[in-house]
Structure 1
Amino acid sequence: MTVMDAAALRRALADRLAEGGFLRSEPWRAAVEAVPRHEFLRGGFFEQAEGSGPTAWRPVPADERGWLERCYADESLVTQIAGTIVPGDIRGEILRAPTSSSTMPNLVVRMLEDLQVEDWHRVLEIGTGTGYSTGLLCHRLGDDLVTSMEVDPEVSRRAGASLGACGYFPELVVGDGLAGHKNGAPYDRLIATCGVLELPYTWIEQTKPGGIVLATLCGWLYSSELARLTVGDDGVAQGRFLGGQISFMLARPQLPPPLGTLPDLQTGKERAARLGADVLDDWDARFVAQLAAPRAQRISLTFDDRTERVVLDVEAGAWAALAQDGEHWTVRQGGPVHLWDEIEEHLLRWRADGAPTLDRFEILVTPEAQRITWPKA
């Protein structure tokens, strides 16, 4: 590898991002062309093992043929598995879930553009990860204006080493990003590179009036949207979703609980379903369903003669099992609340209002609560 090779790859990446409409301004283009993404991937990355399920991964070390070119592909690259395992720890394959990654460049750049920074803005980044996006912020604003938080000490340490190798020295904080970093507040901008079930009010408190918070809202049904909110003088933040089916790993404290032993799905009250479980295959509909049941998870169970789609809230002990017979669906429900009743109510009301797209939804965050609404028909 030569410096010329890497520089050419950065320019080519910038060209692709600009052509795709993700890179829209000269300062961020200069950052993409200057910050070497491969320096943040020196430890290698994981790729999905060929012919495997979605959680089987093999390491790609930095000396493997094609590694450098992959570093500048517009794809997310997994850098940690199961909370502690990095590529150098593995020979062969691992059947565990990813816990840290280098986000695909088009999403990194799109979010930085959407953050609407000015030269003098102080930024708090939640989720340092590899440090690549932190490096882009440092190039754009200067080290002194960038603070980045990471919950995992080892991930933060590796990011710090990579940033230092590139000549960037922002303030790196190890801690729970959901609590923000009060000592450095207030900030002009706050950006989160992890998904959250609810936007923490601490982020609003730590952002100046007129400042912007950019974060991805999601639930355990795994539909998510990027929200941009402006903080008001009264401490209330308001904004909208920006669209585009943005997806991030959830903040670790908000990961769903293990399913554990399933309830007896043959019990409960059965009725004809007004909506079938296939409605959740649609991204927008699934997001609306999450507003009704943000802590519900979904699984499929196959029996000898049928398949059932199950929605389950482990903490509440509530569940709904749906089965299809031709064009008709039935649902059995158990627990203290009827999950499918609530999901159907939300979805039917949304449809009655014309099924507006998620970029028309509005979000309001107060000290007491978060509220997401859609326009009426």
Structure 2
Amino acid sequence: MTVKDSAVLRRALADRLAEAGALRTAPWRQAVEAVPRHEFLRGGFFERAGDAWRAVPADADGWLERCYADESLVTQIAGTIVPGDIRGEILREPTSSSTLPSLVVRMLEDLQVGDDDRVLEIGTGTGYSTGLLCHRLGDDRVVSVEVDAEVSRRASVGLGSCGYFPELVIGDGLAGYKDGAPYDRLVATCGVLELPHTWIDQTRPGGIILATLCGWMHASELAQLTVGTDGVAHGRLLTGHVSFMLARPQSPPPLGMLPDLDSGKERTTQVGADVLDDWDARFVAQLAAPHTQRLSLTGTDTTQHVLIDVQAGAWAVLTQHGEQWVVRQGGAVQLWDAIEDHLLRWRADGCPSLDRFQVIVTPEGQRVSWQKV
């Protein structure tokens, strides 16, 4: 297909996003139809190959059409590896991607920008969402921060090829970019365990912050907050099972050697590990233990469901015996006690859905609560 054909693909993508309800207003439709996503994927991308990843170069059959599919396309593996670096397959974890367009556009719509607003974007990535912002607002109203210098450089090339020249900053996005503050809007295209108060400090009163709240058990939701004159941000979860890669400084540490799971204190529990298969329940569990990682060890007769907080030096292992669940815990804190208590209180309140959750961020920290059903 030719570059001219990409205009057809962009219009078709806009139609699909509008039909799905992600694309809702004319200015953002104009941006989707104008900004060529393929220019930000000239280096190719990775696709799944079982448990591994394999490269799809830009000259592969179907590459251009894939650029306009509503799917996330991985562009970097293990912090440094790009598609042109490998032949065959790789088993490492993705570290950068072009987020699926429906999520990008939904977030930009939820940001509720005005024509004169200035926006700080946390996580430049490929630069596609940055390009949409530039088309909508103009280069001088967009600042984008990226922690990875090489990722930022590639985004700059893609943006420049489209005629966009926003301010691109290399640095820790959790610190924002105070030199350009205050901003009218702030949007984060990475997940965070806790929304940094620096973002609130750099957003004007009445401004909106859009960010994904995560935990190390991989349940996450989009939070929309409004900054008050008192430096406190209030908001809610928009829901929809939104998922982003975590901000790199908040990535979970290696588990290392597992503790002695036969030690610790054992008791029966009212809540089994199977509850963590439910997205909402897992999100609630993360509120009690955001630094907890989860894994399963399958033996001949039983499966051990292991939770570990490396930073706190705490662990819990749950096993099922018939219809009864048993937990054994060890370390500095009783990890499952905190999770079980949180889940039981949520159940007692009627298991409210995540759109009934409120988020408050003060200089002292973040608080997430829910309304009873």
Q: TM-score if structure 2 supplies the norm length?
A: 0.99
Unaligned segments of structure 2, at least 5 residues: none
**Aligned match for 1:351, one of 327, 336, 347:** 347
Give the equivalent residue in structure 1 for 2:254.
Answer: 258
Counterparts of 1:359 and 1:125 in 2: how far apart (Å)? Answer: 24
Give the equivalent residue in structure 2 for 1:302.
Answer: 298
Counterparts of 1:279 and 1:45 in 2: how far apart (Å)? Answer: 35
Residue-by-residue CA offset, 1:271-324 (whole Å, 9 max, x unaligned): 111111000000000000001101000000122322100011011111110011
Farther off after superposition, 93-102 or 295-304? 295-304
Give the equivalent residue in structure 2 for 1:103.
Answer: 99
Give the equivalent residue in structure 2 for 1:29.
Answer: 29
Distance apart, 1:3 and its partner CA: 2.5
Residue-by-residue CA offset, 1:220-245 (whole Å, 9 max, x unaligned): 01100100000001111000000101
1:185 has 2:191 as partner: no
Counterparts of 2:21 and 2:316 in 1: how far apart (Å)? Answer: 42
Give the equivalent residue in structure 2 for 1:41.
Answer: 41
Give the equivalent residue in structure 1 for 2:237.
Answer: 241
Farther off after superposition, 131-140 or 299-308? 299-308
- Over 6 Å off, 4+ runs: none
Give the equivalent residue in structure 1 for 2:276.
Answer: 280
Counterparts of 2:3 and 2:214 in 1: how far apart (Å)? Answer: 40
Given residue 105 of structure 2, which amino acid in structure 1 is its aligned partner? V
1:203 alignment partner, SS class: helix
Counterparts of 2:199 and 2:161 in 1: how far apart (Å)? Answer: 30
Residue-by-residue CA offset, 1:316-347 (whole Å, 9 max, x unaligned): 11111001122111110101111111111000
1:266 alignment partner, SS class: coil
Counterparts of 1:308 and 1:137 in 2: how far apart (Å)? Answer: 47
2:208 alignment partner, SS class: strand
TM alignment of 1:62-141, pairs within 5 A: 62-141=58-137
**Aligned match for 2:357, one of 354, 361, 370:** 361
Counterparts of 2:225 and 2:190 in 1: how far apart (Å)? Answer: 16
1:24 alignment partner, SS class: coil
Counterparts of 1:142 and 1:320 in 2: how far apart (Å)? Answer: 51
Give the equivalent residue in structure 2 for 1:291.
Answer: 287
Give the equivalent residue in structure 2 for 1:216.
Answer: 212
Counterparts of 1:11 and 1:33 in 2: how far apart (Å)? Answer: 5
1:329 has 2:325 as partner: yes
Counterparts of 1:128 and 1:182 in 2: how far apart (Å)? Answer: 17
**Aligned match for 1:147, one of 136, 143, 146:** 143
Counterparts of 1:228 and 1:283 in 2: how far apart (Å)? Answer: 19
Residue-by-residue CA offset, 1:158-184 (whole Å, 9 max, x unaligned): 000000000000000000000000000
2:327 alignment partner, SS class: strand
1:246 alignment partner, SS class: coil
1:79 alignment partner, SS class: strand
Counterparts of 2:262 and 2:214 in 1: how far apart (Å)? Answer: 30
Residue-by-residue CA offset, 1:129-148 (whole Å, 9 max, x unaligned): 00000000000000000000
Distance apart, 1:262 and its partner CA: 0.5
Give the equivalent residue in structure 2 for 1:10.
Answer: 10
Given residue 235 of structure 2, which amino acid in structure 1 is its aligned partner? G
Given residue 11 of structure 1, which amino acid in structure 2 is its aligned partner? R
Identity, % of aligned positions: 77
1:226 alignment partner, SS class: strand
TM alignment of 1:151-230, pairs within 5 A: 151-230=147-226
Unaligned segments of structure 1, at least 5 residues: none
Farther off after superposition, 336-345 or 37-46? 336-345
Counterparts of 1:139 and 1:84 in 2: how far apart (Å)? Answer: 29
Distance apart, 1:14 and its partner CA: 0.2
2:75 alignment partner, SS class: strand
2:108 alignment partner, SS class: helix
Counterparts of 2:312 and 2:213 in 1: how far apart (Å)? Answer: 21
Given residue 361 of structure 1, which amino acid in structure 2 is its aligned partner? F
Q: TM-score if structure 1 supplies the norm length?
A: 0.98
Counterparts of 2:24 and 2:359 in 1: how far apart (Å)? Answer: 26
Given residue 241 of structure 1, which amino acid in structure 2 is its aligned partner? L
Give the equivalent residue in structure 1 for 2:370.
Answer: 374
